[in-house]
Amino acid sequence: MLIRTEHEQDIAAISSLVTESLAIIPQSTGTEAKIVEALRAQSALDLSLVAVENSKVIGYLAASDARIGEQGGWSLIGPLGVLPSRRLQGIGTLLMNDALNRLRKTRRGVVLVGEPSYYSRFGFRAFPNMTVAGCPPEVVQALPFDETEPHGEVYHHKAFALERE
Write down the mean pLDDT value for the chain.
86
Count of the separate structural domains present in the chain:
1
The band of 86, judged by pLDDT with boundaries at 50, 70 and 90, is: confident
CATH of the domain at 33: 3.40.630.30
User: What is the percent of the chain where pLDDT is above 70?
Assistant: 91
User: What is the percent of the chain where pLDDT is above 90?
Assistant: 44
Task: Tell me the residue range of the domain where 12 lies.
Answer: 2-161
Q: Taking the model in full, what pTM does it have?
A: 0.89
Long-range contacts of 32-37 (CB under 8 A, 24+ apart): 32/79, 32/81, 34/159, 34/162, 35/79, 35/159, 35/160, 35/162, 36/60, 36/62, 36/79
Chain segment 25-84, per-residue pLDDT in tens: 766 666 787 878 888 887 878 899 999 999 999 999 999 888 898 888 999 998 888 988
pLDDT at 41: 80
Judge whether 155 and 71 are in contact, CB under 8 Å: no
